[in-house]
Amino acid sequence: MSASTRAFKVAFRCTACGKCCTGKGGKVRVNAREVEAIADHLSTPTREFRRQFLRRHPGDDFDSIKQTPDDLQCIFLEGKQCSIYPVRPTQCQTYPFWPQQLISKYDWALTSKECEGVLLDRTSDADIVPNDRILKETVIHEVHRSGESMTYSEIESLVEELDPDMLHAFDQEVADKYRRDVVYEDEHVVVLDSFLGTPRLHACCSSILTSSSLNFVLVLHDDVDTLPPTRSLHFTDRLELVQSEVFLTPEGAVDHSYLSLDVHRGLSVALGFLQDDPPPSSPSPSAVATDPTWRVAMLGAGASVLPTFWQHVISRHRPVRIHVVEPSAAMLYAGTHFFDASDALVVHKQTGNAFVTTLLESSAELLDLVVVDVEDGTTHELLEHGDVLSAPPASMTSKEFLHNIRRVLGPRGVVAMNVIGHKPTGSLESAGGWDGLATRLATVFDQVWVLPLEANTLVFGVLGWPSHVLPPLSTTSLSDQEQVVQDIFDEFRPRMRRVH
Helix or strand or coil: residue 421? strand
Reported as a single tens digit per residue, the pLDDT across 324-337 is: 999 999 999 999 99
Exposure pattern of 388-410 as b/e (b: 16+ CB <10 Å)? bbbbbbeebbbeebbebbbebbb
> Residue 220 pLDDT more than 50?
no
Query: Where is average pLDDT lowest: 56-70, 142-156, 477-491?
Result: 477-491
Q: Place 448 in a pLDDT band, splitting at 50, 70 and 90.
A: very high
**pLDDT given at position 162:** 83
Q: Place 465 in a pLDDT band, splitting at 50, 70 and 90.
A: confident
Domains and CATH numbers, the chain: 19-248 (no CATH), 258-498 (3.40.50.150)
Q: Place 198 in a pLDDT band, splitting at 50, 70 and 90.
A: very low
Specify the amino acid at residue 139.
V
> Residue 213 pLDDT more than 60?
no
Average pLDDT of the chain to the nearest whole number: 84
**pLDDT given at position 463:** 93
**pLDDT given at position 172:** 79
> Residue 206 pLDDT more than 80?
no
pLDDT > 90: percent of the chain = 47
Nearest residue to 447 (alpha-carbon basis) of 465, 434, 435: 465
Query: What crossing angle do the helices spanning 46-53 and 32-41 adopt, rounded to 10°?
Result: 100
> Residue 140 pLDDT more than 50?
yes
Average pLDDT over residues 37-49: 96
Average pLDDT over residues 64-89: 93
Alpha helices of 200-351 — where are they, by DSSP H? Answer: 262-267, 305-314, 329-338
Return d(Cα 183, Cα 234) in angstroms, integer.
12
User: Which residues is 128 bridged to in the sheet?
Assistant: 11
Helix or strand or coil: residue 339? coil
> Residue 275 pLDDT more than 70?
no
Average pLDDT over residues 177-182: 81
**pLDDT given at position 479:** 56
> Can you say whether the dihedral through the CA atoms of 59, 65, 66, 70 is positive or negative?
negative
Q: E strands along 252-300, which residues?
A: 254-255, 294-299
Helix or strand or coil: residue 266? helix
Average pLDDT over residues 373-400: 86
> Residue 171 pLDDT more than 90?
no
**pLDDT given at position 278:** 52
Length of the chain: 500
435 or 97, which is more confident = 97
**pLDDT given at position 214:** 40
Q: Place 286 in a pLDDT band, splitting at 50, 70 and 90.
A: very low
| Long-range contact pairs involving 247-253 (C-beta distance under 8 Å, separation at least 24) | 248/193, 252/193, 253/340
Residue 152 near residue 140, CB atoms below 8 Å:
yes
**pLDDT given at position 142:** 85
Reported as a single tens digit per residue, the pLDDT across 122-135 is: 778 888 998 889 88
Return d(Cα 429, Cα 98) in angstroms, integer.
33
> Residue 217 pLDDT more than 80?
no
Helix or strand or coil: residue 208? coil
> Can you say whether the dihedral through the CA atoms of 280, 418, 426, 39 is positive or negative?
positive
**pLDDT given at position 223:** 40
Return d(Cα 482, Cα 312) in angstroms, integer.
11
Q: How far are the Cα atoms of 352, 379, 385, 458, 462 from residue 437, in angstroms, in the given order?
A: 18, 14, 9, 11, 14
Average pLDDT over residues 186-207: 65
121 or 225, which is more confident = 121
DSSP string, 426-492: T--S-TT--HHHHHHHHTTSSEEEEEE-SS-EEEEEE-SS-TT----SS-SHHHHH-HHHHHHHHHH
250 or 46, which is more confident = 46
Reported as a single tens digit per residue, the pLDDT across 98-109 is: 888 888 888 888
**pLDDT given at position 489:** 87
Average pLDDT over residues 270-296: 67
**pLDDT given at position 191:** 94
> Residue 478 pLDDT more than 80?
no
> Residue 232 pLDDT more than 80?
yes
